[in-house]
């Protein structure tokens, strides 16, 4: 294998391979990126293990990875906002830009969204990758490419806290202390939340939550939903706001009547980047494991076993 563009490809459920691909050329409005760091998301593991997430089915080989950063290595026609050598964070969803949602400023609702590593679109776990230049965000010199890769999950926390109205003095309950729960904790604290309680079934993750500033943690040991509901009720009050973040099973039975809403992140990469650049949020402790691109299969096995918090893959050839 010549390793011009080593790439992690999911062929079908359970069949993931490292392959050498040709180096892609940037089209108009795109940049070619020498990929630096890519974090493994739960969705990547889910596609690998199940071959689908809801209606998104892996029917053809697909490159995984969407929490990513890179260095601009070539400019496509018409690109003026970036230059070769710029280090960037990649916003993985690229909308059509012309539909009513895009023109109305809600591009997250675009029906023609092309999202990295979501069938049929390829992700960026590779040496080289091309992406729309206007969805690449230049990193300040003091912000690392690992931090740049963590902008994607952090942006989820920023959007969730916006939707939930988390502000100075808020009291917040976060169910789940995985990577997304923890970035919600970081964002809530940065927004001025007075009390943040996290629940989880893993004490190690709750320990990490404590280190990151959680005021309370609750280890879930009972499988009795009524018992847990009572404990959650003791930590909440009427008149609050519930935000459902991320994807779960296709069918969920919940003892509520209120409508739950879910949206992709919207134009919040600049905010997430500013939070890291200013020091208001430190995402570096979330990275617990690091692997080279050649070690991607081991990295995915580590994530599957639930070890650590965020597993990061270094794509740049050393």
pLDDT of residue 229: 73
* Chain Cα centroid distance, residue 15: 23
- The answer on pLDDT for 142 being more than 80 is yes
pLDDT band at 222 (very low <50, low <70, confident <90, very high): confident
- The answer on pLDDT for 259 being more than 60 is no
**176-193: pLDDT as tens digits:** 999 999 999 999 999 999
pLDDT band at 248 (very low <50, low <70, confident <90, very high): low
Cis peptide before 315 (omega within 30 of 0): no
pLDDT band at 258 (very low <50, low <70, confident <90, very high): very low
Q: Which residue has the tokens 């909308």?
A: 95
Is residue 56 a contact partner of residue 62, using CB atoms and an 8 Å limit?
Answer: no
Q: What percent of the chain has pLDDT over 90?
A: 80
Per-residue HEC secondary structure of the chain comes to: CCCCCEEEEEEECCEEEEEECCCCCCCCCEEEEEEEEEECCHHHHHHHHHCEECCEECCCCEECCCEEEEEEEEECCCCCCCCCCCEEEECCEECCCCCHHHHCCCHHHCCCCEECCECCECCCCECEEEEEHHHEEECCCCCCHHHHHCHHHHHHHHHHHHHHCCCCCCEEEEECCCHHHHHHHHHHHHCCCCEEEEEECCHHHHHHHHHCCCCEEEECCCCCHHHHHHHHHHCCCCCCCCCCCCCCCCCCCCCCCCCCCCCCCCCCHHHHHHHHHCCCCCCHHHEEEEEEHHHHHHHHHHHHCCCCCEEEEECCCC
Is residue 150 a contact partner of residue 90, using CB atoms and an 8 Å limit?
Answer: no
Crossing angle for the helix pair 179-190 and 151-164, to the nearest 10 degrees = 60
pLDDT band at 246 (very low <50, low <70, confident <90, very high): confident
User: How far apart are the C-alpha atoms of 36 and 315, rounded to whole Å?
Assistant: 5
Q: Which residue has the higher pLDDT, 239 or 113?
A: 113
pLDDT band at 262 (very low <50, low <70, confident <90, very high): very low
* Mean pLDDT, the chain, integer: 91
Q: Does this model's pTM top 0.85?
A: yes
pLDDT of residue 245: 84
pLDDT of residue 1: 57
| 88-92, 204-208, 265-269: least confident range | 265-269
pLDDT of residue 294: 96
Q: How far is CA 280 from CA 11, 190, 283, in A?
A: 41, 6, 10
Q: Which residue has the tokens 């630096």?
A: 36
| 105-114, 224-233, 270-279: least confident range | 224-233
pLDDT of residue 172: 94
- The answer on pLDDT for 264 being more than 70 is no
**230-241: pLDDT as tens digits:** 777 776 777 778
User: How far apart are the C-alpha atoms of 216 and 190, rounded to whole Å?
Assistant: 17
* Chain Cα centroid distance, residue 23: 25
**26-78: pLDDT as tens digits:** 999 999 999 999 999 999 999 999 999 988 999 999 999 999 999 999 999 99
pLDDT of residue 257: 41
| 239-243, 271-275, 305-309: least confident range | 239-243
Q: Which two tokens stand for residue 107?
A: 């591009």
User: How far apart are the C-alpha atoms of 180 and 200, rounded to whole Å?
Assistant: 12
A 10 A CB-CB count for 29 gives 17
Phi, psi of 253 (to 5 degrees): -95, 115
- The answer on pLDDT for 265 being more than 60 is no
- The answer on pLDDT for 175 being more than 60 is yes
Map out the domains of the chain with their CATH numbers.
6-150+283-314 (3.90.180.10), 157-234 (3.40.50.720)
């Amino acid at each position: 294998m010549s390793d011009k563009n080593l790439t992690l490809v999911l062929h079908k459920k359970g069949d993931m391979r490292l392959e050498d691909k040709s180096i892609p050329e940037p089209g108009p409005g795109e940049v070619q990126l020498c990929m630096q760091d890519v974090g493994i998301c739960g969705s990547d593991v889910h596609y690998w293990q199940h071959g689908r997430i809801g209606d998104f089915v892996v029917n053809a080989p697909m490159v995984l990875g969407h929490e990513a950063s890179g260095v601009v290595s070539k400019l496509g026609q018409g690109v003026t906002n970036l230059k070769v050598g710029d280090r960037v964070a990649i916003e993985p969803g690229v909308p059509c830009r012309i539909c009513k949602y895009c023109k109305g400023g809600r591009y997250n609702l675009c029906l023609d969204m092309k999202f990295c590593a979501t069938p049929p679109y390829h992700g960026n776990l590779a040496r080289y990758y091309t992406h729309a230049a206007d969805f690449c965000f230049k990193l300040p010199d003091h912000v690392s490419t690992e931090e740049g890769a963590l902008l994607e999950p952090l942006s989820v926390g920023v959007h969730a806290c916006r939707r939930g109205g988390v502000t100075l003095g808020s009291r917040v309950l976060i169910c789940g202390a995985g990577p997304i729960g923890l970035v919600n904790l970081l964002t809530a604290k940065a927004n001025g939340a007075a009390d943040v309680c996290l629940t989880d079934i893993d004490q190690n993750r709750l320990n990490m939550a404590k280190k990151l500033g959680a005021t309370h943690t609750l280890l879930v040991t009972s499988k009795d939903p009524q018992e847990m509901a009572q404990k959650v009720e003791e930590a909440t009050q009427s008149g609050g706001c519930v935000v459902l973040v991320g994807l779960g099973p296709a069918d969920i039975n919940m003892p509520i009547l209120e409508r739950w809403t879910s949206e992709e992140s919207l134009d919040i990469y600049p905010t997430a980047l500013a939070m890291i650049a200013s020091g208001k949020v430190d995402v570096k402790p979330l990275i617990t494991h690091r692997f080279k691109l050649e070690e991607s299969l081991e990295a995915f096995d580590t994530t599957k076993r639930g070890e650590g918090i965020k597993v990061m893959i270094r794509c740049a050839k050393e």
